[in-house]
Amino acid sequence: MKKLGFLLLLLASFINAQGQDEKMNKFISDLMNKMTVEEKIGQLNLTTAGGFVTGSAVNEMTHQKLQKGQIGGMLNALSLSSMRAFMDIAVKESPHHIPLLFGMDVIHGYQTVFPIPLAMSCLWDMSLVEKSARIAAQEATANGIAWTYSPMVDIARDPRWGRIAEGAGEDPWLGSQVAKALVKGYQGNDLSLDNTMMTCVKHFALYGAVEAGRDYNTVDMSKVTMYNDYLPPYKAAVEAGAGSIMTSFNVVDNIPSSGNHWLLTELLRNQWGFKGFVVTDYTAINEMINHGMGDLQTVSALALKAGTDMDMVGEGFLTTLKKSLDEGKITVNDIDLACLRVLEAKYKLGLFTDPYRYMNEERAKKDLMTPENLKAAREIATRSMVLLKNDKQILPLKKSGTIAVIGPLGDSKKDMIGTWAIAGNQDKISTIVEGLKNVGGNPVTVLYAKGSELTDNPLLLKSDSPISPDQKNSSETVTSREQLLKEALQTAEKSDVIVAVLGEPSAWSGEASSMSDIGIQKVQQNLLKALLGTGKPVVLVLINGRPMTLPWENANVSAILEAWAGGTEAGNAVANILFGDYNPSGKLTTTFPISVGQIPLYYNHKNTGRPMDSNNKFTSKYLDISNDPLYPFGYGLSFTTFEYGDIKLSKSKLKGDEKLTATVALTNTGKISGEEVVQLYIQDPAASISRLVKELKNFKKVLLQPGEKKDINIEITTNDLKFYNSDLKYDWEPGDFIIYIGSNSRDVKSAKVTWVK
């Protein structure tokens, strides 16, 4: 009976949805029947609201264009009053009163800033990832924004690429889980509500594979690698219902994404069934001229025909499509299709019912930076941090005595929020110094000295980014350098323990922030050496947006905490961990190499014909360094210890769609309770294509009390065995499989299973 009720409900909602669709279709076709071609082209034009730009072009004559209906949407407008003013012109003065779509890079929070996405992926907790997006949407939609340029789901295996900070790391399976959770968090179940926003999956596609980690560089890879290792997170986001997708700057199979018909139409729409609209990245159509695809008219027509619907900032569509139509290079149908998709998005967001529904000053007053939002930011930041080393049990610190916080990032608000925090409220950010004071309370004395500048590299000193706070240093002189060090050592002398806060400021990761040296800058390392020279215990807290090379630090410092750029609550969260109020459980989602020379270095690589053997010269390795990373994918310590039992399989031989359960006994062998991320990897050692040495397929995050032992069961199905073969057919192949379970991608137990069709 219950089941029947449920089915009837499902049917009713299906009929209702169909009715809604019919209503929408009628509304839009009536509207489009009235629009001129020029007005339709206007809907495809996305312009900057000024103020905040990431490319050479900005848009002008906005007022006139709005009046003529030549603008469909605007990006990164910062104030609600300016958005209202723009909307007024569009809905009151333009020919058909079509509302504007306001978009923004709401990437890791809005005013309440969460840790950078790379850090959030280290949570291994999809409900918290989703929660961060839900809160971001709740805040942004009160302040005028209906559309976010998130999730960024580019798989990245090269930490020189500054945009590694914006994604979920190197693993396609984990990246897919994060992508789904973010889409769900932002969009909810009903886009027309005034507190849900449309997502934009980016950067489609393969942007994370830019050669040499240099931003905007070229990409080249086989289709099999694309399908297996890079495309899954985009596909997962599309399947989760993402309303739009953004093209990437790079070429895919030698054709720039924005003009790539195979990518935007055959794969995205025909194979994956994507129903939303495609927007380019910032001036990406114009950049096709530099890619060598022709002049602006040619590339604009190419982009439209390929499946691009909206042109971000470049105005190639606005200025050339009519001419191309007159010359027969494109059809009215091409324009209509793109216009229809943009209007559908506006309709689904409820903008035709009320253009001002996302501009709610009253809600903005009460929904932004609420105590609950800050609490969530703190919990998420605390859980995203990864304990890399804790020898001699320096951590946790006692809540008494004197702590010397030393380092250029120890008391910097702007470097806690990381890249892409356009709307982030800087005033409320807690620095490490403030966090230790807040959490330590009266019994703790916290001293601070800067100790050194961030760098003495003149090129880096000049680096500046519109998407991150300005990092320009005053030019350092020899005397001031000595003075800084002297003050640091004097401060250190007065303390019981030193917390060295080093790494990279916000402006060194994110867009246009590639680095060839991803170690701690020399001036900071010299400071660290001097601090270690005092003989006092030293804890290294790293603030950064990418994996770093830390062989010297790992060899010489007893305790290292990877704190990333933790957002509004960064300092309080670091203090929660340092004082042991929270036992760290974050696990890395990108490999930390020993040296830049090893890059690209990632756990899910192929075996090669000559896997590394340190005793055999003629194997795949370097003469001067091992192939091993410093910290592998999945790695992260706790203040307690866990012991893994051997893997027990429910069966050792399976047939067809049978299910397998792998079980390990996990014991908390330490003295405090703690959470562990139990990770399951699979290897397919003999197949029709060369497969990877290990692939993450599942995990379980479990809390164990001291001494507690628990059986952890993880189910495996044939879905977990599937891959794209050389014909791009997605299936599994019978044979033996190795199941690995462990605490990270390196330290695992293994068991073999045979699975036949």
What residues are labeled active site? 281
Tell me the closest approach of the beta carbon of residue 382 to ligand BGC, in angstroms: 27
Which C-beta is closer to ligand BGC: that of 78 or that of 751? Answer: 78
54 scored as a contact of ligand BGC (CB under 6 A): yes
308 scored as a contact of ligand BGC (CB under 6 A): no
Tell me the closest approach of the beta carbon of residue 50 to ligand BGC, in angstroms: 13
Residues 89, 757: Cα–Cα separation, whole Å: 64
Tell me the closest approach of the beta carbon of residue 511 to ligand BGC, in angstroms: 5
Residues 113, 107: Cα–Cα separation, whole Å: 9
Which C-beta is closer to ligand BGC: that of 282 or that of 352? Answer: 282
202 scored as a contact of ligand BGC (CB under 6 A): yes
Helix axes 332-348, 2-34, angle to 10 degrees: 130
Among 234, 282, 317, 699, binds ligand BGC (CB under 6 A): 282
Rg of the chain over all Cα atoms, to the nearest angstrom: 27
Give the x-and-dash track for 431-450 against ligand BGC (CB under 6 A): --------------------
Tell me the closest approach of the beta carbon of residue 234 to ligand BGC, in angstroms: 14
Tell me the closest approach of the beta carbon of residue 542 to ligand BGC, in angstroms: 25
Tell me the closest approach of the beta carbon of residue 54 to ligand BGC, in angstroms: 3
User: What does the DSSP assignment read for 221-250?
Assistant: --HHHIIIIISHHHHHHHHTT-SEEEE-SS
What three-state secondary structure class fits 704? strand
156 scored as a contact of ligand BGC (CB under 6 A): no
Q: Which helix (H) or strand (E) holds 449?
A: strand 444-449
**Phi and psi angles of residue 565, each rounded to the nearest 5 degrees, phi first:** -105, 105
- Measuring CA to CA, how many Å separate 93 from each of 35, 251, 608? 15, 40, 64
Which C-beta is closer to ligand BGC: that of 210 or that of 492? Answer: 210
For the chain, count helices (H), then strands (E).
Answer: 22, 27
Is the omega angle on the peptide bond into residue 205 within 30 degrees of 0, that is, cis?
Answer: yes
Cβ within 8 Å of residue 416, ≥6 positions away: 429, 430, 431, 506, 543, 565, 566, 567, 568, 570, 571
- Measuring CA to CA, how many Å separate 56 from each of 163, 204, 287, 510? 19, 22, 11, 17
What three-state secondary structure class fits 657? coil
Which C-beta is closer to ligand BGC: that of 163 or that of 329? Answer: 163
Which C-beta is closer to ligand BGC: that of 313 or that of 433? Answer: 313
Decide the pairing of beta strands 497-503 and 538-543. Answer: parallel
CB 103 within 8 A of CB 46: yes
Among 39, 62, 71, 105, binds ligand BGC (CB under 6 A): 105
Tell me the closest approach of the beta carbon of residue 202 to ligand BGC, in angstroms: 6
Residues 694, 749: Cα–Cα separation, whole Å: 13
Cβ within 8 Å of residue 28, ≥6 positions away: 340, 343, 344, 347
Among 158, 281, 415, 434, binds ligand BGC (CB under 6 A): 281
170 scored as a contact of ligand BGC (CB under 6 A): no
Give the x-and-dash track for 463-502 against ligand BGC (CB under 6 A): ----------------------------------------
Strand partners, 109: 113
Residues 573, 714: Cα–Cα separation, whole Å: 31
Cβ within 8 Å of residue 273, ≥6 positions away: 238
Which C-beta is closer to ligand BGC: that of 105 or that of 553? Answer: 105
Tell me the closest approach of the beta carbon of residue 535 to ligand BGC, in angstroms: 47
Report how many residues bind ligand BGC under the rule CB under 6 A.
9
Q: Tokens standing for 402?
A: 């004197």
CB 630 within 8 A of CB 593: yes
Tell me the closest approach of the beta carbon of residue 119 to ligand BGC, in angstroms: 18
75 scored as a contact of ligand BGC (CB under 6 A): yes
47 scored as a contact of ligand BGC (CB under 6 A): no
Among 76, 491, 640, 743, binds ligand BGC (CB under 6 A): 76
257 scored as a contact of ligand BGC (CB under 6 A): no
108 scored as a contact of ligand BGC (CB under 6 A): no
Which C-beta is closer to ligand BGC: that of 54 or that of 308? Answer: 54
What three-state secondary structure class fits 533? helix
234 scored as a contact of ligand BGC (CB under 6 A): no
Among 114, 124, 149, 277, binds ligand BGC (CB under 6 A): 149
Which C-beta is closer to ligand BGC: that of 510 or that of 636? Answer: 510
Which C-beta is closer to ligand BGC: that of 199 or that of 430? Answer: 199
Which residues are at the interface with ligand BGC (CB under 6 A)? 54, 75-76, 105, 149, 202, 281-282, 511
